[in-house]
Structure 1
């Protein structure tokens, strides 16, 4: 599959060119990410929904972003070993745009409700990853001329850029998608960080942590430290979201969706951590140290 995708250095540079959070990486890290992405492509299966044809370049674009959180989680001589974090699934489903899904839930009184929701991405414990290609484009960080008409027509595949990728969504598309242009947003990183969280079971905001994590000898102690730090940041974010919605205070930098739960705050924070590290370091220094300990462990 990696050979079929033709993941040469030249093609890699062309496909990732719109993604500044990847092109800014040192050459050595980009080479490592390309190798990891090739192994990812060999292990996963891509399927288009609603008539969408998933091109090789589209698959490479998704692979590059999906593998970014794994960049330092495998040994330097075999970075593909980090793909164990994604071993629970094979399929990646890509729809042209957001997807309506039916929900069923029980409230505190025991009453069962049913309704519809619209999602830009979704994962389950051992099932495939679902992504909206329109939202993938929004997360890639480039506005292409002429994309406004494409988006408003509900067909993000009608125009293509010089790399053969469907045209990038314009800044107007952010408003249509309910997003602010200055809010870190990357649906691929978000959903794949859910998968990392789920590696130890149900998503709860705490991925599996090794013994010795941040100086804690026991896994239980490491987990308690992680949850204490993440919960403090989550509560701060939730307070900012509430103040913005109720009293017109400035909206927080991170996506307001992160205030839904601790399990959603973790991938929302990861979107910013991986795509805008410098500002993340200023806004959330405690989380930077926490995430670095997980995603950039000191190699022995």
Structure 2
């Protein structure tokens, strides 16, 4: 009885959020037009993505900096991109934080860093996106609009991949695995593919002569920045999975299959999900 009552309250809350944060047909079509990499989704998936986008907006608080006007177009465009990776997983992967801060363009991030000798330094750098454990996500709106799919870049997917990675603690390229979604994938299977791919990518980067570095940066599907840390490799490869799935699968087939099975999406339609249980329920959780 208690379980039925809880489900009833959750359904009521969900329906109320969908009504209050409904996205107009015109704005949704405008959003889709600006995100051509969503073309692999069928009609049913797009309906679920639209609902999940509304539920995301209902749960998260958007704010802006430097006099950027917060419009519905900004909110929906960012929310739709953030919702794509969790389309078949659910909003609970974004639990524990509420804020999204949108800057007009790049912004300065200040950090405290301890070097190998234990000396603490205050450093600052320009960023197009930043995600903090248990805190908000910051995004450059200029970069969030770089969505034509000509390369594998997507700052929104990148930062929200970090938030998923942080669910089990500090981001380390080993996101949490849930039995109901990811079985029979386990930590050992993840490490066997992901860690090997990361090591190979780092070796590939190290082998590039300095004179060819500029050309390599232009031609590489995976941004060389991904070699900085396993967490960055996970986030950059997550971008590639959704934005350039066919090229990603062709160049990194095992890694593509791993991430497709993690996100429970196969945008290149390779059959990577065969053998998994049915996709997540049609209605996305608000929990």
Q: TM-score range by the shorter chain?
A: 0.7 to 0.9
Specify the alignment match of 2:152 in structure 1.
184
Q: Deviation of residue 239 (structure 1)?
A: 2.5
Which of 42, 64, 76 aligns to 1:48? It is 64
- SS of the residue corresponding to residue 293 of structure 1 reads helix
Bigger shift: residues 20-29 or 86-95? 20-29
CA distance in 1, matches of 2:41, 2:73: 20
CA shift in 2, pair 1:28/1:188, >3 Å:
same
Specify the alignment match of 2:193 in structure 1.
229
Q: Deviation of residue 289 (structure 1)?
A: 1.4
The question of whether the paired residues in 2 share the 8 Å contact of 1:258 and 1:268 is answered with yes
Which of 264, 278, 284 aligns to 1:299? It is 278
- SS of the residue corresponding to residue 240 of structure 1 reads helix
Specify the alignment match of 2:184 in structure 1.
215
Q: Deviation of residue 224 (structure 1)?
A: 2.1
CA shift in 2, pair 1:117/1:66, >3 Å:
same
Specify the alignment match of 1:263 in structure 2.
231
CA distance in 1, matches of 2:79, 2:277: 25
CA distance in 1, matches of 2:43, 2:244: 18
Specify the alignment match of 2:204 in structure 1.
240
Specify the alignment match of 2:78 in structure 1.
62
Q: Deviation of residue 87 (structure 1)?
A: 1.1
The question of whether the paired residues in 2 share the 8 Å contact of 1:5 and 1:60 is answered with no
Name the count of aligned residue pairs: 247
Unaligned runs of 5+ in 1: 74-81, 143-181, 217-221
CA distance in 2, matches of 1:203, 1:129: 14
Q: Deviation of residue 247 (structure 1)?
A: 5.0
The question of whether the paired residues in 1 share the 8 Å contact of 2:152 and 2:222 is answered with yes
CA distance in 1, matches of 2:73, 2:18: 12
Q: Deviation of residue 16 (structure 1)?
A: 1.9
Specify the alignment match of 1:162 in structure 2.
none
Matched, 1:126 2:90: no
CA distance in 1, matches of 2:53, 2:221: 30
Q: Deviation of residue 5 (structure 1)?
A: 5.1
Matched, 1:7 2:14: no
TM-score, normalization by structure 1: 0.77
TM-score, normalization by structure 2: 0.80
- SS of the residue corresponding to residue 288 of structure 1 reads helix
Q: Deviation of residue 210 (structure 1)?
A: 2.6
Matched, 1:37 2:53: yes
CA distance in 2, matches of 1:273, 1:184: 8
CA distance in 1, matches of 2:22, 2:261: 34
Deviation readout 1:77-136 (Å, 9 max, x if unpaired): xxxxx1011111111000001111222211111112222111111111110110001110
The question of whether the paired residues in 1 share the 8 Å contact of 2:64 and 2:70 is answered with yes
Unaligned runs of 5+ in 2: 1-16, 265-275, 280-287
- SS of the residue corresponding to residue 196 of structure 1 reads helix
CA distance in 2, matches of 1:107, 1:21: 40
CA RMSD of aligned residues (A): 2.0
Deviation readout 1:46-91 (Å, 9 max, x if unpaired): 1000111110111000011000001111xxxxxxxx1011111111
Whose relative contact order is higher, 1 or 2, with alpha carbons under 8 Å and at least 6 apart?
2
